[in-house]
Each structure stands twice: as structure tokens, then as C-alpha cells.
A and B are shown apart, each in its own frame.
Chain A
């Protein structure tokens, strides 16, 4: 083999630096393309979401006294956490959201299980059915419930004629009504997220459990349920945060009896024109939801869960 000559070496060095710079140039070009593609979305989110959110945050720290006097303070937050009406409203919001989560999980899990067990064709049909309520406006759906749950409405009459009770509980304008409305609205999200994680379970695991002596119930408890935890977690987080921020259902079906925080904030901003206080309520709602969701996911995603689903 011939030794490499000096000018050859020079050439090699020059060539390799050229390759590197070419690569860098290409990378830059790639970033520019990506930036251009992302620009509309980034601009949209920044202009219509980030800036308004920051403005609301700014508003929440302004306290007004009288007509003209305005100054920076944390007075709005102090007011919120010292007034029992607002604390009750916060507790009510959390409570109703938790009920909604439990109800939609209990109703949704069996549906998801059925979807996971049936043939692909039936599964497609069921997915369509489960998602179909989302095609109808939530206002319309809630009005349906409104009519059904009216005092002396269809549900009341049914309960009386079946002899279950003579004095049926108040359904509309009560917590029960709101939980019914919210569960109905958010059930598809729970079903679909649980079903997705059930699809990912290897069907031969159930066979393995069966051949080892586990009957259907035991097999569900020891294999299917633990392996569907990721879907349960995402469904719970989704439904909980949507319930916390729901406005239409509590306003329509709870009315003044069920003052959930979004309704209270709306009232402050639109009806009472107390923009700054309404902004503070919004941020309390956001903060509490974030904290609850974080606590929940932290609780679930530790130890074994982390080992298995990481």
C-alpha cells in the first residue's frame, strides 16, 4: 500500500471539514423548515392562549376599591380562601368531579372490556357508538337530561310507577343531576382510554392465567385489571380535569343550588363585572386541578407501576 502523501492529507482534512459544515448547513435548513411549519400553530397558541392567560394572571393580582382605586395585591386570593361560600364552592367542585370519575369508571370499564373482547368489526361499531354522543352538542344533551330529570318528569314518574319510592329525590338542580350530566358527557373519554390499554394486553396472558388454574374472575383481578392501570389513570385524569372545568352542565342542571367554581367565576366576570376576582377564581381552579392530578398520578405511578409501564 502506498503511503499517504502530505497534500493528500490536506485534501482529506479539507474534505472532511466541508462535509461537517455541509451537514451543519443542512441541519440549520431543517430547523428553519420545522420552524416554518410550526409557526402558525405556535403563533395561534401564543396569541390566543398564552397571552390571555398571562393577562388573566395579571388581572388576578389587581384589587379594586371603589370606582377608580386599583392597586396590586394578593387580596383576591385572600378573599377566596377566607370566605366560606367560595371554599364550599371549591369543595363542591372537587366532590362532584370525584363522583363523576367514579361513576364513569364503574359504568365505562365493563363497556371497555366488552370492546376489547369482541371481534374487530364489532369493536369498530362499538367505538362509533361510544363516540357518537360527542357529535351532539353538550347543551342539547344536557337539555335532554333536563327534561327527563324535571320534578315530576319521566324519571320521577318511572320511579313512582315502579313502586321504588313514593317521594323521589330531587334530581334536577341538585348534585345528583350534575353528576348524571357530567358522567354522561365524559363517559366516552373514560371508555376509550381504558379500552386502548385493554387492547394492548396480550390475549395469551389470559390463557396463561387460565391454564395455571385461575377462573375468569381471578384472572380479571390478577391480570387484566392491573395491566389496564395506565388506561384507568389517563381516563381518570381526563374526566377529572374536564369535570373540574365544566361550565355548561353545572349551570344548566345545577343552577344556583350547585355553584361549581367555573359557574361562580363566570358569574363574577359576566354578571358582576368583577373581572379581577373572577380571574383569581380561575387561577385557583387551575392550581387545584393541577395539584389534584399531580397527586393522583404520583400516587399511581410509583413502585411497581413505574417498573412495569415505564
Chain B
């Protein structure tokens, strides 16, 4: 049986001048899920959202919403809800009138309108502010009203275009949790655009990582973080340390890579990234590992944990981040970042330590 797709993009292509904005986007959004489009600015994530909303005339491809081809249907006939980065509340209308706008266009009876507006405002915890003008609200409140305005018309889809990027860090965090709660409560299929990887990881059921008008990877947050398919995804999501070397031996379980100065590093064979995944001895490769996957051990200490990869390094810098320590090491004559939840008292700048990691935590890509 086929899973119901609320949105389907087939080969969507858009070119403006010489710039290819969207280069053959194929995407399915499942019913009731919260899907995030993630990528750097100019990657095509907002264009993809605008394609679904109907604001972008695409050159090639088709858009389906709930199985219906809407490629040539204007935005005002698509029945969607959308929240914008700049809130976009009508400044000359009160909160109530803002919410009423979509309902009155749908010719909902007056009594029902009032009831639905009340419910929607309650949902976003904004009851009692019906008579205020947007000018009289704070940024967070405005965005709550904007979400209520999008939801009150009971849209087929909820589209969110970087709705949190104009808010300060604390509000952003608060509203992020709120959006997640609302989405599950209402059950509306939601597409969320952001350039903030933390936002994407914490909110989404699935993430679509985009780059230069194409989709790099689609997957759950853990898949995207732990098993990125490409170098771009690895670098874009989270911090990374990078090494370069040559393949020395390969078998079905492990790859051994030799770095400059005869250092050997082991990587699990399944951790390959990129399109070219056939390796032979002597190939030049890049290795990636995230700072929190590295563990510092004191030198000369008893071998508590066994690591395949274990090397001597010296501490260059130590930064306290509150929840953790960011330690910079000099390893293989390169600066390497390590994220540790704690430090020991004799770790000082210049101290010699041992750093180790598991072959399963490292990713490999052909150079």
C-alpha cells in the first residue's frame, strides 16, 4: 500500500537569469509530519517553500498537494497557511481582524468565526489580546498571532518560512518548543524552513538538507547527524574536524588510512560519504569527526576504555561554554576541537594528553 503523501514535488526546476535556483527537486512530504528544509542562504529552501505556496512560477516540474496537481493554481486558491519571517500581520487590523481575514474570505458564518478565532488564540496562548494592533505586541507575540492566523483557516498545509529568525535566542527556544507542541496537537502537515541546524534537529520528524538548488539528503535528525551522506551535510550540521590521508588497507569492516608521518587511523567501512564509494589502496581521502566524539584521557592513566584510534596530543586552548568545555588540541600538527563535559584539574594549556575515538564515529570521503 502506498503511504499518503500530502505534498509531492516532481522534478521542480527554476532558473532566474543564469542562476539555477532549483535543480530538479523531488520531494515527498508525508501526512502529519513536520518536515524541515535546511540549508545555507541561497540553497533554494525558501524557493522550494514558495513553489509549494504558489509564489514561484517554476520552469519545469509538477507540484501535488493532497494528490491534486496544483502547479498552475494561484496561491489564493491553494488553501494553505503560511507564517513569514517578518510576521506579516496586517498593521491596520487588530489581532481579531487579522485572524478573521481568512475566515471571512471563506464565508464562514459569523458565530463560528468568533468561536474559531477564540480557539486559535487560546491555542497560541494569546487570549484576551483580540483588540490589540500588531504594533502593540512584542515580536514573540506577533509571531504567535501569525501562527494562529495561519492555523485558524484550518489549512491543508502549514508553511513556516524562518519564523523564528527575528526573535532573540530565549524566545526562539521557547517558540520552537511551542511550534512542535502545536503541530502535534493540530496534526497539520508542516513544512519548516530554517538555516539553523539546531532548530532543525530539535523540531523535525524529517530534515531535508539542501545545497545549491539540490537536495543533499533527506532523513530523520539522527540519520542526518550521525550518518550524513555527503561531505556538505557533515560540515553544515554541527562542527567538524578534518584530516587528510591515503588509504592503506581495506576490508569489509575497516579502512585503514595513513596520514602524513605514518600515523594510522581506522574507520568503519560503512561510514563512507559522497557519491563515489569504491576505494582502492593509495586513494586520497578526507576524514571527518565531530568534536564530541573525541575523548581526552590523561596520559599514563590506566586504559579505562579501549579505543582503536588513540594518539598523543597537547592542549592549545580551553574555552568554557557553560554546559561543556571546548578544548583545542594539537594533533598530527593540526588544530583539533574536542567537546568534553568535564575537564581534569591538571589539564592546562600545553599539557600532554591522549585523545581517542571509535572507528564507527569517523566518516570518510574520497578527495
Q: Which residues in A have some Cβ–Cβ distance to B below 8 Å?
A: 202, 204-205, 207-215, 218-219, 222-223, 226-227, 304, 307-308
Instruction: State whether A208 touches B82 (Cβ < 8 A).
Output: yes
- Using CB atoms, name the residue of chain B closest to A208: B88
- Contact at B81–A209, with CB atoms within 8 Å? no
- CB-based nearest A residue for B89: A208
User: Which of these, A204, A211, A226, contacts B92 with CB under 8 Å?
Assistant: A226
Closest 8 CB pairs of A and B: A212-B102, A208-B88, A213-B105, A211-B82, A210-B75, A204-B88, A308-B92, A210-B76
Please report the C-alpha to C-alpha distance between residue A226 and residue B54 in the assembled complex, in whole angstroms. Answer: 25
Q: Does the CB pair A211–B80 fall under 8 Å?
A: yes
List chain B residues, Cβ under 8 A from A214.
Answer: 76, 101, 105
Q: Which of B77, B79, B135, B149 contacts A308 (CB 8 A)?
A: B135
CB-based contact A205/B88 at 8 Å: yes
Give Cα A150 to B73, complex, Å: 52
Within 8 Å CB of A222, what residues of B? 90, 101
Bound form: Cα–Cα A33–B81 in Å? 57
Interface class of chain B by DSSP: loop
The interface centre, meaning the residue of A212, A218, A226, A304 with most chain B CB atoms within 10 A of its CB, is A212
Establish whether residues B92 and A207, one from each chain, have CB atoms under 8 Å apart when the complex forms. no
State the CA gap A226–B133 with chains docked (Å): 15
Q: How far is the CA of A184 from the CA of B361 in the complex (A)?
A: 75
Tell me how far the C-beta of B131 lies from the nearest C-beta in chain A, rounded to whole angstroms.
Answer: 10
1/0 per residue, CB under 8 A from A, across B162-200: the answer is: 000000000000000000000000000000000000000
CA A20 to CA B55, docked complex, whole Å: 60
Interface centre among A207, A213, A223 (most CB of B within 10 A): A213
Main secondary structure of the interface of A (DSSP, over half): helix
Per-residue 0/1 for B59-89: is the Cβ within 8 Å of any A Cβ (1 yes, 0 no)?
0000000000000001111111110111011
Known A210-B74, A211-B81, A213-B76; judge A204-B86 contact (CB<8 A): yes
Give the CA-CA distance A112 to B78 in the complex, in Å. Answer: 30
B333 close to A (CB within 8 Å): no
A-B contact pairs, 16 of them (CB 8 A): A202-B86, A202-B88, A204-B84, A207-B75, A208-B90, A211-B150, A212-B101, A213-B77, A213-B105, A214-B101, A215-B74, A226-B92, A227-B92, A307-B133, A308-B91, A308-B133
Distance of A226 Cα from B80 Cα, bound (Å): 25
Q: How far is the CA of A308 from the CA of B102 in the complex (A)?
A: 21
Residues on the A chain within 8 Å of B101, using CB: 209, 212, 214, 222
Additional pairs, 17, CB under 8 Å, beyond known A209-B76, A210-B76, A213-B106: A207-B53, A207-B82, A207-B84, A208-B89, A208-B90, A210-B74, A211-B75, A211-B78, A211-B81, A211-B150, A213-B102, A214-B105, A215-B76, A219-B76, A227-B92, A304-B92, A308-B92
Interface residues in B150-170 (C-beta closer than 8 Å to A): 150, 153, 159
Q: Which residues of A lie under 8 Å from residue B106 when comparing CB positions?
A: 213
Q: Flag if B55 contacts A207 (CB, 8 Å).
A: yes
Closest Cβ–Cβ distance, residue A284 to chain B (whole Å): 38
Q: Is the CB of A213 within 8 A of B153?
A: yes
Expressed in whole angstroms, the minimum distance between the Cβ of A233 and any Cβ of chain B is: 14
CB distance from B237 to the nearest CB of A (A): 28
Expressed in whole angstroms, the Cα–Cα distance for A214 and B74 within the complex equals: 10
Q: A residues within 8 A CB of B53?
A: 207, 211
Provide the residues of chain B in CB contact with A304, threshold 8 Å.
92
A222 nearest in chain B by CB position: B101
Chain B: CB-nearest residue to A310: B135
Contact residues in B for A226 (Cβ distance below 8 Å): 92
Q: Are A212 and B88 in touch, CB under 8 angstroms?
A: no
Which residue of chain A has its CB nearest to the CB of B155?
A211
Please report the C-alpha to C-alpha distance between residue A55 and residue B47 in the assembled complex, in whole angstroms: 66
Contact bitstring B99-111, A, C-beta under 8 A = 1, else 0: 0011001100000
Q: Which residues of A contact B153 (CB under 8 A)?
A: 212-213
Kindly provide the distance from the CB of B101 to the nearest chain A CB, expressed in whole angstroms. 6
Residues of A within 8 A of B78 (CB): 211
Would A207 and B88 count as touching, CB distance under 8 A?
yes
Q: Please report the C-alpha to C-alpha distance between residue A213 and residue B82 in the assembled complex, in whole angstroms.
A: 11
Which A residue sits closest to B53, measured CB to CB?
Answer: A211
Q: Complex formed: what's the CA distance from A211 to B150 in Å?
A: 9
Q: Which residues of A contact B150 (CB under 8 A)?
A: 211
| Distance of A210 from chain B, by nearest CB (Å) | 4
Is the Cβ of A212 less than 8 Å from the Cβ of B105? yes
Map CB proximity to A onto B119-150 as digits: 1 under 8 Å, 0 otherwise. 00000000000000101000000000000011
A227 and B149 contact, CB distance less than 8 A: no
- Chain A residues with CB under 8 Å of B79's CB are 213
- Bound complex: CA of A132 vs CA of B92, how far in Å? 34
B105 close to A218 (CB less than 8 A): yes
Q: Taking the nearest CB of chain B, how far is it from the CB of A113, in angstroms?
A: 18
